[in-house]
Structure 1
Amino acid sequence: MVSGVVLLTDRRAARGDLRDVVAQAVAGGVRCVVLREKDLPRVERLVLAAELRPILAEAGGTLIVAGPDPLLPETEPAPRIPSTFGGAFVALHLPAAGPYPPPVADLVGRSCHDEAELDRLTTEDYVTLSPVFPTRSKPGHGPPLGPDGLAALVGRSPVPVLALGGIETPAQVRACVEAGATGVAVQGAIMRARDPHQVATTLTIAHHELLQKQPPAPPHRPVPTGNAHDGLRPTVPTQGSSLTARSGHGRPQP
């Protein structure tokens, strides 16, 4: 299950070098980062992915690549995190528009915004639902779902939900989790921060503290017998903490 605080990259909004911002966020408790930067040429994204993956791997986390291209070199060294299919761990985040069905990967997420898009899901492991709150990254995008709208869509989703859009405070993290989201996806709050480490720590602790007070949620989708589906587990930014990112994406493709 995907959970916790997930960081979406935006090098243009970042106050410093993107690699440094990601490293600070990981030090603050983030264990999952979605690499966007889709306007860059593939070779530049490939280099960036190669530089970010070790930052996540050293903390026991994972890098998710936005788009169907996993940005893996032709010759990949032995993975530090085992893959369901052998070779490197492949994690993808897809847009609402496609492709359908999703490519085979160890972990697959998709951006969704309404019931119609949720109804199109097939073998995805998680979704983001947005925008929950007004967002400075995409002004005018919406209208915002709000906690009530988020809760309604969470109830319809067959997979775990990350709340996305305008999430900048612990109170907003709490509202999203109370609405049923297993975690929050954050971009601007960390990318624009003067101290990404502090913001990541604050949001991660807020999620962890609330999660400890709630009973475990029932699984969203049955898992076929014999397939591991451990997913991403929440963590707190304490010394020696780690998070394993494994998702047995072994369900048959339609």
Structure 2
Amino acid sequence: MSLQLHLVTDDRLPFARTRDVVAAAVEAGVDVVQLRVKGGTARDLLAQTVALSAVVAGRATFVVDDRVDIVLAARGTGVRVDGVHLGQSDLPPDAARRLLGAESVIGWTANTPAHLGAAAAFPPGTLDYLGVGVIRPTSTKPDHPPALGVDGFARLAAATPLPCVAIGGIGLSDVAPLRAAGAAGVAVVSLLSAADDPAVVARELRRIADAAPVEVGR
């Protein structure tokens, strides 16, 4: 599974706009789409999961933020959802692994050495990647921890064997430095969701990511 480029959806947008952004990103070759919705009902989130699964159509890895129950519900109706991204206050990753199975993708948010220690304590195979951030201040997560910057990210990424995906306030100019700092990939929200033409930005993001040197595990 490639982790180079993640699109995390912005629940401040109308869902029709989100669907268009996801379609453009997948067409441009984004590797992972994460549906992130912090409010609303479970019924609405399930409907959005079903709709975006159809847009992604197996062309990228599709995961849902936080909600293992939604992943299971969607799968129960035959909808493809590849896994879940969990935060520190969500269901523990080892419990999610037992529920979702060995083939599912499970990511976990980590932004401190203590989080890396907790990740290391899980049985091998529990986690597929860590989401590490925020890199820069971002309006999409107003309660975010202090920004790490590229150097702070590099220190955390070097301290774990798990692939680390950088997230939080990332711009086009950050992609190559983050890859050089050990990022297995980058995750963006506003860079695509707030773009006037997300297709153009997604193609440029793909171009830069493909050209960036790969220094994972340095």
Instruction: Give the superposition deviation at 1:136.
Output: 3.1
CA contact (8 A) 2:3 2:31 kept: no
- Is 1:93 aligned with 2:85? yes
Instruction: Give the superposition deviation at 1:12.
Output: 1.1
Residues of 2 paired with 1:191 and 1:14: CA distance?
11
Residue by residue, what CA displacement relative to the aligned partner does 1:57-109 show, whole Å, maximum 9, x if unpaired? 25x212101112215347433x7xxxxxxxx5540100022322341231100
Secondary structure of residue in 1 paired with 2:57: helix
Return the letter of the residue paired with 1:76.
T
Q: Which has the higher contact order (CA 8 A, sep 6+)?
A: 1
Secondary structure of residue in 2 paired with 1:33: strand
Matches within 5 A, 1:71-82: 72-73=73-74, 75-77=76-78
CA contact (8 A) 2:10 2:140 kept: no
Q: What is the TM-score when the length of structure 2 is the normalising length?
A: 0.84
Instruction: Give the superposition deviation at 1:177.
Output: 0.5
Q: What is the TM-score when the length of structure 1 is the normalising length?
A: 0.73
CA contact (8 A) 2:32 2:61 kept: yes
Matches within 5 A, 1:157-176: 157-169=160-172, 171-176=173-178
Greater CA radius of gyration, 1 or 2?
Answer: 1
Query: Which segments of 5 or more consecutive residues in structure 2 lack a partner in the other structure?
Result: none
Instruction: Give the superposition deviation at 1:113.
Output: 1.0
Residues of 2 paired with 1:131 and 1:148: CA distance?
12
Residues of 2 paired with 1:46 and 1:71: CA distance?
10
CA RMSD after TM alignment: 2.3
CA contact (8 A) 1:49 1:71 kept: no
Report which of the two has the higher share of helix: 2
Residues of 1 paired with 2:135 and 2:14: CA distance?
22
Matches within 5 A, 1:59-208: 60-67=59-66, 68-69=68-69, 70=71, 72-73=73-74, 75-77=76-78, 88-100=80-92, 101-104=94-97, 105=100, 106-121=104-119, 122=122, 123-139=126-142, 141-169=144-172, 171-208=173-210
Return the letter of the residue paired with 1:190.
L
CA contact (8 A) 1:46 1:71 kept: no
Secondary structure of residue in 2 paired with 1:65: strand
Residues of 2 paired with 1:131 and 1:89: CA distance?
26
Match of 1:210 among 204, 209, 212: 212
Residues of 1 paired with 2:41 and 2:203: CA distance?
32
CA contact (8 A) 1:5 1:31 kept: yes
Residues of 1 paired with 2:2 and 2:40: CA distance?
27
Instruction: Give the superposition deviation at 1:40.
Output: 1.8
Aligned-pair identity (%):
32
Residue by residue, what CA displacement relative to the aligned partner does 1:114-143 show, whole Å, maximum 9, x if unpaired? 111111112111011011122232357332
Q: Give the number of equivalent residue pairs.
A: 205
Residues of 1 paired with 2:143 and 2:176: CA distance?
24
Query: Which segments of 5 or more consecutive residues in structure 1 lack a partner in the other structure?
Result: 80-87, 221-254
